[in-house]
Amino acid sequence: MKRAKILIVAGLALMMPGVVGAQVAGSTVVGIAAAELREVTMGWSAKKQVLGQPVYNEKNEKIGTIDDIIVSPTKSVSYAIVGVGGFLGVGKHDVAIPVSQFTETEGNLVLAGGSRDAIKAMPPFEYPSR
């Protein structure tokens, strides 16, 4: 009887080799390959390196703070939401700025040609109600 149980378990294990493989949803592999992981680690972390970070102009004047990032329907990060002014969220002016306009200089996010007045003059960004 004990031998029969072992044979049944061994047979089941041989019949299900895909169970121990990669996670699969339909026919698409979920996640990334180990080779792609290195590329991912070279990118920026929104949580650790972007959100809440100050934005400076080329004169090293702080002009705002990155409050959010927008991922477009094509799955690319396309805009940064920059907040200017206000105290504890009251009177703050949020604007959307294309990420292509930012550079990194000495660890700072820089928006060349930016100023508090220029950002306050831009149309405010408002989240759509869903």
Helix/strand/coil (H, E, C) string of 59-74? CCCEEEEEEEEEECCC
Domain ranges, ordered by start, for the chain: 2-40, 44-121
Please tell me what DSSP assigns to residue 20: G
Give, for 24, the enclosing helix (H) or strand (E): strand 24-25
- Residues 78 and 47: their CA atoms lie apart, in Å, by 16
DSSP 19: G
pLDDT score for 62: 93
What fold does the segment set 44-121 form as a domain? SH3 type barrels. (2.30.30)
Which residue shows structure tokens 């105290």? 87
pLDDT in tens, 28-71: 666 767 777 766 666 767 777 788 999 999 999 999 999 999 88
Chain mean pLDDT for the chain: 75
Q: Distance between CA 114 and CA 5 in Å, rounded?
A: 73
Threshold 0.85, pTM exceeds = no
- Helices then strands, each counted (H, E), the chain: 3, 8
Q: Determine the pLDDT at residue 123.
A: 92
**pLDDT value at position 120?**
85
pLDDT at 97 over 90: yes
Look up residue 30 and give its two tokens. 């979920």
